[in-house]
Amino acid sequence: MILVVGGAFQGKLSFALDLTGYQKEDFLDGADCDWDSIFTSKGIYHFQEYIRRCIQDGRSCEKLAERIRLDNPDVVIVTQEMGCGIVPFEPFDRKWRENTGRICTELAKEADKVYRVVCGVGMVIKDDSKN
């Protein structure tokens, strides 16, 4: 698994495409993809929006990271960092931010590689593929 994180509009998807050689069509958009398709796709971007949708629809996110790890261990996940800045005023937004952070923390533990992208430049945070 590869996890690509960074702020909004920092070039995360372009970085992931260059890194993997995949095409944009190989990635799902978390804002509107089918619920179960993330467990078979090559990649997903806007992963934080997938989590938002789960919460809005009353779906449990509790085992999401584990299911991704078991069912799709080679997936590339592109997500926006949400833990920096002002804590949201709205309870839903706080729950969304917390869930996204917790799930991405679990995914990062399991990922072979984790990158942080700023201004289109990816920095290696973790690379277990060398072991």
Residue 75: is its pLDDT beyond 90?
A: yes
Query: Euclidean distance between the first and final Cα of the chain, in Å?
Result: 15
Summarize the confidence of residues 74-91 as an average pLDDT: 86
Residue 131: is its pLDDT beyond 70?
A: no
Q: Look up tokens 């090559």; give the residue.
A: 42
pLDDT in the model for residue 130: 66
pLDDT digits (tens, 9 = 90+) for 49-60: 999 999 999 998
pLDDT in the model for residue 49: 97
pLDDT in the model for residue 85: 72
pLDDT band at 92 (very low <50, low <70, confident <90, very high): confident
Output phi, psi for 122, to 5 deg.
Answer: -90, 130
Task: Give the whole-angstrom CA distance, residue 16 versus residue 77.
Answer: 9
Summarize the confidence of residues 9-31 as an average pLDDT: 97
In the chain, what are the domain boundaries? Answer: 12-130
